[in-house]
Amino acid sequence: MEESDLKFWKDAGHVARRTIEGIKGEIVAGKSWDDLIDSAERFIRRHGGTPAFPVTISVNDIAAHYTTNSMLSKPEGFEGEMTFEKGDLVKLDVGVHIKGALADNALTVEVGGGGKHTDQIRAAREARDASIEAMVPGGTWAQVGAAAEQVHTDAGYQPITNLCGHQLERWNLHSGVSVPSFDCGESNQSFKGGPEVDAFYAIEPFNTTGKRGKIEDIPPATSSNIHRVTGNITVRRAVAKKKLKPLGATMARYIEERYSTLPFAERWAYSLLEKPFPGEEQESIRRKWNSLIKKLTSIRFLESYSALRCVDKSPVGQFEHTVWMTDGGPEVLTVE
């Protein structure tokens, strides 16, 4: 790999780590989820990066993929206010890109540090580190997953078996290779092969106090408030096939120009629709937005993500690093 190209990946890793370390102290009782997310995204930009995906906050049994929307709607089934409370188990997941080179990292903290979740937090962090240590040239993904599971089960927790780490490629956050966080077995066809030299991976084992070790989607399909341009159809082609009207085509171009194929937040893009309709009531603009997303999804220009939660409604812990695989072994890029 060219040194000049590698520098972008390393710089993204540094910004991602500085962000997560700089913001974690703001996860305190009384702080709103939205304020923390806004603070983290501003931190990324101030330090020379761009969010590779919306900063996500996952509290207690919510496992991943939740960011606030422009209406500050609560996740389905969530009771209470979207502010941190003492004893909450909070996952902060931050991604950064610099010219499309990506870094993805996460940590878990207990609000107030009362010690209720200390062992679970430690197990999640140590499982991440054990997974990275197991990434050796010529090794297998089964070995990596087994290393994570051993840590979790030894500490009395279940690994989440249907939520995995992933390979990173330029402008592509989930590029096809999944990294298991459990003992999947050498013959598992979903996790063929192993770490490849000069590839980048997000290593992120999850654990839970629940017995089944599974996550499920939180309805509806857009519950994460995150979308992504698929790259499967161009705006020009959609217009030529009369699948998009002029306003839809304009919005699609705006979104693609700003976010390429990386995930973006509803709250980032929603304001783009307000500009063509100055003075129009929010209820009307919201209907137009919902119709636009439905249309762009139906023609496969966009895909939407669901937020994820533990099926047992049990607390979930997670730690994550981005790793570059070298001839001599893994190098962690999300370091300060």
Residues noted as catalytic? 93, 104, 166, 174, 204, 320
Q: Are 3 and 324 in contact (CB under 8 A)?
A: no
Distance of CA 238 to the CA centre of its chain: 29
Q: In whole angstroms, give the CA distance from residue 231 to residue 51.
A: 19
Two tokens at 292? 């636009």
Q: Which residues contact 19 (CB under 8 A, 6 or more apart)?
A: 40, 43, 44, 47, 49, 94, 96
Segment 331-336 long-range contacts (CB within 8 Å, at least 24 positions apart): 332/13, 332/132, 333/9, 333/10, 333/12, 333/13, 333/14, 333/103, 333/200, 334/13, 334/16, 334/17, 334/20, 334/103, 334/104, 334/105, 335/13, 335/14, 335/17, 336/14, 336/17, 336/18, 336/21
